[in-house]
Amino acid sequence: MASSYSLVLLPGDGIGPEVVATATDLLDALSQASGVTFRTVTERAGGDAIDHDGTPLSDRALAACKDADAVLLGAVGGAAWDHHTGPMRPESGLLQLRKELGVFANLRPVAVPDALAAASPLREEAVRGTDLLVVRELTGGIYFGEPRGREGVGDAEVAWNTMRYSRAEVARLARVAFTRARRRRGKVTSVDKANVLVVSQLWRDVVREVHEAEFSDIALEHMYVDNAAMQLVLNPRQFDVIVTGNLFGDILSDAAATLGGSLGLLPSASVGGPVGLFEPVHGSAPDLAGKDAANPIAALLSAGMMLDELGEPRLGEAVRHGVEAALQAGLRTGDLWREGLTRVGTQALATRIRGEAVAWLSR
Ligand code: IPM
Ligand code: MN
């Protein structure tokens, strides 16, 4: 008996709905080819939810997510809601969702396929063969730390956030990173700012202890975040798994996205709770919305990661083959197009990827 999974789709804002639609088309096609079925419900999130429900994540949407086997999200945010503050920001809904689902580990793989190495803004010989995984802490750190606040007026006005980690939060994330490294090339780089921040000193101690006690077969190195940003650009091939806190991971994963030439390529999986959350790393890109111009690859690969985590790795593999084949064939959306390649829209690229994925599955 083929399996069946219940999914919540949160298309969100900007290009979110378009790229999520390409992912559901892909899931439909994989379903027909494999017999695995997906039951989907769509809920509002982000600015769209603010406009309709008066909150970026309604109780109903949250309950549906908690009830599902997985959640696939597009993107949230946009200029229309930029003047909102606090819990009425679209981003607050996403942060609340991550927290409520308990998905403390955000996995962001960055691989540069050969077909894209030449198009990288960095030197081809530096990026070719890059294959790394950022494991970003997602439900703690300065994003959530208390106290936080803003008060006073004039020159005396002040605002503050707190970067705070417990031993338990660091240890459970380190275990995810080491475990992933075991399935990869066996190396973990822990990124912190231990030369300045006391929170990073605890981070480093705990990573070291978990390594010694449980993962001494893995190679571990520590790197300051400023150096890591430079090393990512200079010599990305040195990295296998990068494990780091919420804020550093946010910044470093965008930097890593430049290696393949576009943020539109990067998928993510947020795991650690009973329900996984899968979302492209890119934002809502309002300037591209509704123009059939967005790159669907990040969303499609996010669906692929979802299939892996659901326990359907062959379907996940089919998605990655589909992407690879479409890139090999020279199809590119505007973000990656250059002379000699075929410029296509969101739909055309997604359709080709879908066809290639199904062909691989049925070969
Ligand atoms: C990301 C995004 C989010 C983050 C925003 C939209 C809250 O930049 O997923 O990287 O900072 O985590
Ligand atoms: Mn980000």
Instruction: Say if CB 268 and CB 209 are below 8 A apart.
Output: no
Q: What is the pLDDT of residue 119?
A: 80
- Across the range 66-91, mean pLDDT stands at 96
Q: Provide the token pair at 189.
A: 């780089």
Q: ω into residue 236 within 30 of 0, thus cis?
A: no
* Residues involved in catalysis: 143, 193, 226, 250, 254
Q: What is the DSSP letter of 273?
A: S
Instruction: Say if CB 308 and CB 316 are below 8 A apart.
Output: yes
Task: Give the ligand 1 atom nearest the CA of 95.
Answer: 7
What is the average pLDDT score of the chain? 97
Give the three-state DSSP class for 158: strand
Determine if ligand 1 sits within 6 Å of the CB of residue 250.
yes
Q: What is the pLDDT of residue 118?
A: 85
Q: What is the pLDDT of residue 261?
A: 87
Please determine whether the domains at 1-105+263-363 and 131-258 fall in the same fold group of CATH.
yes
- Give whole-number Cα distances, 223 to 52, 141, 244, 316, in Å: 45, 18, 10, 32
Q: What is the pLDDT of residue 89?
A: 95
Report whether pLDDT(205) > 90: yes
Give the span between the Cα atoms of 240 and 178, in whole angstroms.
Answer: 11
Determine if ligand 1 sits within 6 Å of the CB of residue 13.
no
Q: What is the pLDDT of residue 169?
A: 98
The rounded Cα 136 to chain-centroid distance in angstroms is: 9
Q: Provide the token pair at 325.
A: 């084949």
Give the span between the Cα atoms of 138 and 97, in whole angstroms.
Answer: 11
Cα of 339 vs centre of ligand 1, distance in Å, is: 33
pLDDT tier for residue 120 given thresholds of 50, 70 and 90:
confident
Nearest CA owner, ligand 1 atom 10: 250
Cα of 260 vs centre of ligand 2, distance in Å, is: 16
Instruction: Say if CB 304 and CB 111 are below 8 A apart.
Output: no
Instruction: Say if CB 278 and CB 38 are below 8 A apart.
Output: no
Determine if ligand 1 sits within 6 Å of the CB of residue 43.
no
- Give whole-number Cα distances, 93 to 2, 46, 59, 97, 220, in Å: 34, 6, 11, 6, 35
pLDDT tens-digit profile of 318-334? Answer: 999 999 999 999 999 99
Q: Which of 250, 252, 268, 270 to mutate to test the pocket of ligand 1 (most atoms within 8 A of CB)?
A: 250
Nearest CA owner, ligand 1 atom 7: 91
Q: Which CATH number fits domain 1-105+263-363: 3.40.50.1820, 3.40.640.10, 3.40.718.10, 3.40.50.300?
A: 3.40.718.10
Cα of 248 vs centre of ligand 1, distance in Å, is: 12
Q: What is the pLDDT of residue 1?
A: 64
Q: Provide the token pair at 214.
A: 């449980």
pLDDT tens-digit profile of 235-281? Answer: 999 999 999 999 999 999 999 988 988 999 999 999 999 999 999 99
Q: What is the pLDDT of residue 129?
A: 94
pLDDT tier for residue 115 given thresholds of 50, 70 and 90:
confident
Nearest CA owner, ligand 1 atom 11: 250
Q: What is the pTM of this model?
A: 0.96
pLDDT tens-digit profile of 271-294? Answer: 999 999 999 999 999 999 999 999
pLDDT tens-digit profile of 11-44? Answer: 999 999 999 999 999 999 999 999 999 999 999 9
Q: Which of 15, 82, 91 to mutate to test the pocket of ligand 1 (most atoms within 8 A of CB)?
A: 91
Domain extent listing, the chain: 1-105+263-363, 131-258
Report whether pLDDT(345) > 90: yes
Written out in words, the top-level CATH class of the domain with range 131-258 is alpha beta
